[in-house]
Each structure stands twice: as structure tokens, then as C-alpha cells.
Amino acid sequence: MTGALMEVAGLAKHYPVRRGLLSRITGQVRAVDGLSFELFRGETLALVGESGCGKSTTARLVLRLIEPTAGTVRFEGADITGLRGDAMRKLRRRMQIVFQDPFASLNPRMTVAEILEEPLIVHSIGNGAARRARVAELLGLVGLAPYHAGRYPHEFSGGQRQRIGIARALAVEPALVVCDEPVSALDVSIQAQVVNLLKDLQARLGLSYLFIAHDLAVVKHVADRVAVMYLGRIVEIGPKDDVFANPRHPYTRVLLSAIPRPDPHRKLARSAAGSETPGGDVPSPANVPPGCRFHTRCPFVIDRCRAEDPALHDIEPGHLSACHRAEELPAAAAMETVQAAAPAAARRLALYAERRATQQAAG
Amino acid sequence: MADLLEIDGLRTVFRSPSGDVPAVDGVSLSVARGRTLGIVGESGCGKSMLSLSVMRLVPSPGRVAAGRVVFDGQDLLALPGRAMRAVRGKRIGMIFQEPMTSLNPVFTVGDQITEAMRAHDPSASKAALRARAVAALDRVRIPGPARRFDDYPHQMSGGMRQRVMIAMALSCDPDLLIADEPTTALDVTVQAQILDLLRDLQAQSGMAIILITHDLGVVAEMADEVAVMYAGRVVERASGTAIFDDPQHPYTLGLLGSIPRIEETRSRLLAIEGSVPAPFALPEGCRFHPRCVFSAPACTRVDPPLRGLGADHQAACIRAPVEDLAA
């Protein structure tokens, strides 16, 4: 990692709520409300949170697909918040996006070759022959075959379509790829293929990923750092191992404990201990609670939380939390009874891995 | 005690120009009162078609071609339409994946809950139905149920709508609840609330649950017994603990290897290569063999039946247990 590729400072997006005959503004939906973070070269920063927390809005803001209400985005050292016209178009080559829904994000009337060639044409890259060569190269890069170029999206499975979406994003050789829930619409076995592909591509091409997800288990697998969002704000950010092993915001703990684990023994242990599931829904971003945004659902709430909005502050180097009680939260280790796979299961999974490695090596 | 529901050799096919295409192909399963059967598999494995077959709701041009579905001593497939309507919704409730699309947007949630109640109890007064619906909303922990009765679906969050769906499915106190991906579209904290709720309601009422999901985490949290489906077949059946501690079928192993686990760090996931075959292009022999790392020449010829591998544990694989294979 060699410094920040992208620096986001005080980013906000508020949507006015209009009511009545004269469309008077009666409120603000604060979709993103004061976000600051850095994305380093070659790293994966995951933005996680539940629906409505502003993670997809953030993705669109950093790509300048929508205009921020406040704040700045710096990319490769330059402020891109006010860029227009040609300068903006040049910038778009450097940052691309992979969308969630591989069924809706590919034009059904275009062949794969046309889909992959389009960004090259838009950015006037190469001539016809060079572009065709590039399309073949891209297909190989994402594990598809050259003969797939002439086919239409409907001829592909979800996983293959997501590979096409990834190839399209990579066509113009970007430095940053924003992945907006790239695997959440896919089956588990296919998710694993796509996650592995994204990791391989990052290693080969030195890409930076801003990885938007709600699935913390996937995030644990792909990210270097994790930012947890709640109601338009980052409530905790840090290296993934620190955040997962030592969560310092009650919301992060709630998210971690709510994930259903493929471990039937945990159910038994948990039903004995009582569950930590919080009640209630996420409040509406049109009606953000005063003080700490999470205080309405927080099991650790005190009076100060209702009045005073906590700022992100350092807990340990690079690990920040926006909680008044971040330092005094009990260790989270107690709720994570780490259960190794049973011996029979572990043995067979190891055999499975071994066989797969041999077969892949054999081609 | 006899099982509440016994599915025996169920085969559901879709008519096509080139002959019948099987979506469910010889599935036998059972579930007892108070127990939860988890059915796991990826999209296209036939798990939803299985549940629709039990409810006799298979869409045309599909039909149940063979098998029996014995519910509380009656073969549902042999019931006349009127008798089946009395079972559906009253004795077997069903909840679907999409709480956004399974509610009618132009009726209040109260109207929609009482509609099902009225269908099964036409003589009840309006006030009595309303009281029962409010009680049903209260049971699924919707705050202020009397007020929420007059809400339209769009006024509710996703989790709230799924609660309404559960309230509706449970409004007639069914003996069996079929839940098809009940939490897939929900956020994790809401998912945890809904799973808690289903567990509590089951403890109170003693209903049986068939839980259809692709999420092995949800299965581990909920299921007493598990059936893993692949390409229209059950490929492994075991208890909710044995499927994780003693997985036998290579497909089950592949699924377990594919899920990223929060408590461990592996550099790569053990993905299963390829994808589920379409029902009209099933491979010869074992249906999983083209994707299987343990496949042998015999796997391309023999279609393996389920066979016992320990107490209450069956797998359809001639190579299991895989550690006995010569390297």
C-alpha cells in the first residue's frame, strides 16, 4: 500500500422532503451525513451496514454519479468534487463500478463483445482490431471463453453474468473498482467463485476495491479494512481483524452476533445464554434520532448518548469508534465461542481442497 | 408417533415439447410435530417446487406425476379440490420469500389477514375477526397492533411486512408451516428477530416447520433435520448437527466449503466449479458428477440411491465416506 488513492472528507447527501401544493421543503432525508475515510492503493475497504444506512449512496457519491450536498472527494491527490466535462470523463476511466444485480445491469440486446467494447469506444481506446483483442483478453481474465463473446446476456447464469460485469468494469483499466453488493444476488457456491475471482484480479492488477456489502462473513473474507455504517455515518472503522475480534461499537457487535453461523452447536450455546438480538427497526433517515443515532436500539445506552452526538475517535492505531462508551464496552470474546469444524468435517473438507487443487493444477 | 407429513417418492414434472422435464424427482421426506425440517439447496434445485407440490400449487404446465404426500393420515394429492382448500391455509400455512410482493398494496394488512380467516370461518363476525387479527399481529410482536391493523403494506418496513406474512400464515393455527426463504430479503438484525420469533411460536404451538433456504447458517440455527437437495433430488439427509459435523455427500462438502465463515481466515473459498444443471439437461449417472472433485468413472454411469451411513444419516453417493478413497 502506497498512500491514499481516495480521500473522502465530510461527505453528505441530503434529499429534501417536499409536501403540499407549493412543494414546500418540510424536512431532509439525510442519506449520507458527514462521512470521512481514506482508501489506500491496492486495498479493499468494505462499507457494511443494513439497508438504508447510506452505503450505496456513498458508492454513487464517490463515483460522482450523484452530487454531494457537502464535503469533498479527492482521488489520486486531486479534488474531483467540482470536475466537469472532459476532465470528469477522463477520471471515469480510473474508477469503475460492479453492480449488485447481474440480471439488470447488462443490456439484453447487446452481445457480450458489444458490452465489453462499449467502454473502450466511449473512452476512444484502440482501433477495432485492438478492441476485439482486448475483449478476448478480458474474457480470459474473468474465466470466460473467447466463444462467449458472441452470446447475449440471457444465455448466461448469474455467476457468469457477474463475471461479464466485472470484465466490463476492468475494460478501461481502472485504479478503483466500487463493488456494490457484487455477490449478494448469487448462490453460495457461485458467490465463492466470484469472491475468489475478485481477490485474484486484485492481486494481479493491483486494484483498490470499495466493497459495499451487508454480509459480514463475505466482508471478513475479502476486506483489508471495514467501515460499519449506520444511518448515514461511519460508526466504526478499522483493520478487519481488529473490528471483528474487538468490536468497539455496540452496533458492530449487534451485526456480528446476528449473523447466522453454519454451526449448530452455537445455537445450543446461545439459547442457553439468551440472544443479543436488538429489537426494533433502523430509524428512518428522514427522522434521525438526536444524540447518538444508535441510542434508540443500543443495549449500552446512557443519558449522555441521548443528548450528545459521539465523534469518531481512535481506540487503537487505525481503529476508530463513534461511541461514548467505546473504551468501557465489555470484551466481545464471550459471545464468540469459536467452534472449529468437527474432526470428520474438517478431514473431508481438507480432502476436498486437496482434490480441487490437484484438478486445477492439471487444468 | 407417526410423522405429521410424509412425502414419498414425489415427482413433479413440467411438460415440454421434448417430453416431461422433472423439477422434483423422487423425493421422500418427513417431518414430525414440533420439529423443523430444513431443506437446503441452491436456486434451481427444486426446493421451492417441492413445497408448492405439497400445497398442490404447482403452476401450469407443471404437475405432480407420481408419489404421495401424506399429511396427518390423508394423502393430499388424492383429496378433492374443496377438501384441499380446507387444508391449505388452515392446517398448512405458508410464507414466501418476498414480503414486498406477497402483500396486496391496495388493501390494508388487516383486510388481508381477515380475508384468510373469513375463508376458513365464514360465520365469524367482523368484530371477532378484527380482534383475532389484532391478536395475530400482537403474537408476531408488531408494536401497536390495533393501530397497525389499518396500515397499508407500503407503510411498513420489510421486517414488519414479513411479520404480517407470518401472522397471516399462523392466523388459523396451522399444524405445519412451510417457510420458503423467509428471511432472505431481510437485513441480518431483522433476520435474527424473525428466526427468534419463529422458534418461539413453534415452542408455543408445537407446529412443524419446513424451512426452505439456501443459507446454511439459517439451517444451523433452526433445523432439527436437514435435507440437502441437488437437481431435483435429495442427496443427503441427516440431523441438524450431523450435516455440519459429519457431512458425507461431496455437494454438501462443497456448500460448506463455499461459505465464508466469520470465525476463520482462509485465503480462498472452496468454491464448487460450474453451476447447477438445468432440469432438461441432466447429466447421466450421478447428477453432481460433472462438478464433483471425487467423481470416479462409475459415477458417470450409476445414479446413486440414498443409502444409510450411520444412524438416521443417508447420502446418495457411491464414493462416501470420501476419506476411505484410495488417493
Cα separation of the two ends of chain A: 33
- Whether residue B250 lies inside any domain: the answer is yes
Contact B43 A187 (CB under 8 A): yes
Cβ neighbours of A80 (radius 10 Å): 19
Rounded to a whole number, what is the distance in Å from the CA of B159 to chain A's nearest CA? 8
B298 in a structural domain = yes
Q: Which residue has the higher pLDDT, B203 or B44?
A: B203
What DSSP state is assigned to residue B78? G
Alpha carbon distance A352, B2 (integer Å): 38
Q: What is the distance, to the nearest Å, from the Cα of residue A14 to the centroid of all Cα atoms in its chain?
A: 21
Residues of A in contact with B230 (CB under 8 A): none
**Which one is predicted more confidently, B67 or B182?**
B67
- Average pLDDT on B139-148 reads 85
- The answer to whether B236 and B255 are in contact (CB under 8 A) is no
Show Cβ contacts of residue A285 under 8 Å, excluding neighbours closer than 6 positions.
Answer: A29, A30, A31, A33, A52, A54, A231, A232
Q: Which of A162, A200, A203 is nearest to A184 (CA)?
A: A162
- Length of chain A, in residues: 363
Task: Please give the Cα distance from B179 to A230 (Å, whole number).
Answer: 30
**Minimum distance, in Å, between the CA of residue A221 and any CA atom of chain B:** 6
Nearest C-alpha of chain B: how many angstroms from A327? 23
Q: What tens digit of pLDDT does each residue of B226-261 get?
A: 999 999 999 999 999 999 999 999 999 999 888 877
Q: Cα separation of A265 and A210, whole Å?
A: 34
The domain defined by A40-68+83-223+233-238 folds into: Rossmann fold (3.40.50)
Contacts B266 to A, Cβ<8 Å: 221
Query: Residue A309: CB partners within 8 Å, gap ≥ 6?
Result: A290, A291, A292, A293
The residue ranges of chain A whose pLDDT is under 50 are 1, 273, 334-338
Q: Which residues, in sequence order, are CB contacts of A302 under 8 Å at separation 6+? A: A324, A325
Mean pLDDT of B265-289: 82
The C-alpha cell at B263 is 470465525
Task: Report yes or no for ipTM above 0.85.
Answer: no
pLDDT at B193: 85
Contact A226, A237 (CB under 8 A): yes
Which run of H or E residues covers position B166? helix B158-170
∠ CA A242-A243-A246, nearest 5°, is 70
β-strands A70-75, A44-48 pairing: unpaired
- The full set of domain ranges for chain A reads 40-68+83-223+233-238
- Whole-angstrom distance, CA of residue A268 vs CA of residue A275: 11
Cβ-Cβ contacts under 8 Å, A51 against chain B: 158, 187
Q: Where are the beta strands (DSSP E) in B125-217?
A: 176-180, 208-213
Q: What does the H/E/C string look like for B234-294? A: EEEEEECCHHHHCCCCHHHHHHHHHCCCCCCCCCCCCCCCCCCCCCCCCCCCCCCHHHCCC
Residue B327 has pLDDT above 60, yes or no: no
Say which residues have a Cβ less than 8 Å from residue B115's Cβ, sequence separation at least 6: B107
User: Which is it for strands B176-180 and B208-213: parallel, antiparallel or unpaired?
Assistant: parallel
φ, ψ for residue B121, nearest 5 deg: -150, 70
Burial grade of A332 (CB within 10 A; 0-12, 13-18, 19 or more) = middle
Q: Per the structure block, which three cell numbers stand in for B324?
A: 476411505
C-alpha cell, A24: 414546500
Rounded-to-integer distance, Cα B89 and Cα B117, Å: 9
The per-residue pLDDT for range A13-58, each reduced to its tens digit, is 999 888 877 788 888 888 999 999 999 999 999 999 888 888 889 9
Other residues' Cβ atoms within 10 Å of the Cβ of residue B66: 15
Cell of A242: 481488529
Q: Which residues pair with A37 in a beta bridge?
A: A8
Number of structural domains found in chain B:
1
Residue B53: inside a domain, yes or no? Answer: no
Residues 317-346 of A with CB under 8 A from B: 336, 338-339, 341-342, 344-345
Condensed to tens digits (0 to 9), the pLDDT of residues B149-179 reads 999 988 887 778 888 888 888 888 899 999 9
- Considering only CA atoms, give the Rg of chain A: 22
Best mutation target among A155, A212, A246, A352 (most B Cβ atoms within 10 Å) is A352
pLDDT attached to residue B190: 81
H or E element at residue B134? helix B126-139
Indicate the SS3 state at residue B226. strand
Select the residue from B261, B299, B324 to test the A interface by mutation, using most A Cβ atoms within 10 A.
B261
Query: Given the DSSP bridges, would you call strands B36-40 and B225-230 parallel, antiparallel or unpaired?
Result: parallel
Closest residue by Cα to residue A35 from A1, A16, A61, A17: A61
* Assigned domain for B265 exists: yes
Dist. CA A190–CA B271, nearest whole Å: 7
pLDDT at A50: 85
CA of B273: which chain A residue's CA is closest?
A193
B280 pLDDT exceeds 90? no
Which residue range(s) make up the domain with B279?
224-327
pLDDT at A276: 57
Question: Is residue B111, in this structure, part of any structural domain at all?
Answer: no
Residue range A307-316, pLDDT digits in tens: 999 999 999 9
Query: How far is Cα B148 from Cα B171, in angstroms, rounded to an integer?
Result: 16
Please give the average per-residue pLDDT across B48-62, as a whole number: 90
Contact (CB, 8 A) for A95 and A178: yes
Contacts of A330 (CB under 8 A, 6+ apart): none
Distance, CA of A249 to CA of A254 (rounded, Å): 9
Q: Using alpha carbons only, what angle is made at residue A176 by residues A172 and A179, rounded to the nearest 5 degrees?
A: 100
Query: Is-contact B89 B116, C-beta < 8 A?
Result: yes
Question: Within a domain: residue B32?
Answer: no
At A270 the pLDDT is: 59
Q: Which residues of chain A from 248 to 287 reach within 8 Å of chain B, CB to CB?
A: 254-267, 275, 277-279, 281-282
Closest alpha carbon to A188 in B252, B284, B24, B198: B252
The C-alpha cell at A266 is 452455537
Those of residues 42-71 in A touching chain B at CB distance below 8 A are 50-51
Q: What is the 3-state secondary structure (H, E, C) of chain A?
A: CCCEEEEEEEEEEEEEEEECCCCEEEEEEEEEEEEEEEEECCCEEEEECCCCCCHHHHHHHHCCCCCCCEEEEEECCEECCCCCHHHHHHHHCCEEEECCCCCCCCCCCCCHHHHHHHHHHHCCCCCHHHHHHHHHHHHHHCCCCHHHHHCCHHHCCHHHHHHHHHHHHHCCCCCEEEEECCCCCCCHHHHHHHHHHHHHHHHHHCCEEEEEECCHHHHHHHCCEEEEEECCEEEEEEEHHHHHHCCCCHHHHHHHHHCCCCCHHHHHHHHHHCCCCCCCCCCCCCCCCCCCCCCCCCCCCCHHHHHCCCCCEEEECCEEECCCCHHHCCCHHHHCCCCCCCHHHHHHHHHHHHHHHHHHHCC
Q: Which residues of A touch B247 (CB under 8 A)?
A: 344-345, 348
DSSP string, B14-62: E--TTS-EEEEEEEEEEE-TT-EEEEE--TTSSHHHHHHHHTT-PPTTE
Give the pLDDT of residue B170. 86
Q: Looking at the complex, does the CB of residue A143 fall below 8 Å from at least one CB of chain B?
A: no
Predicted pLDDT of residue A335: 46
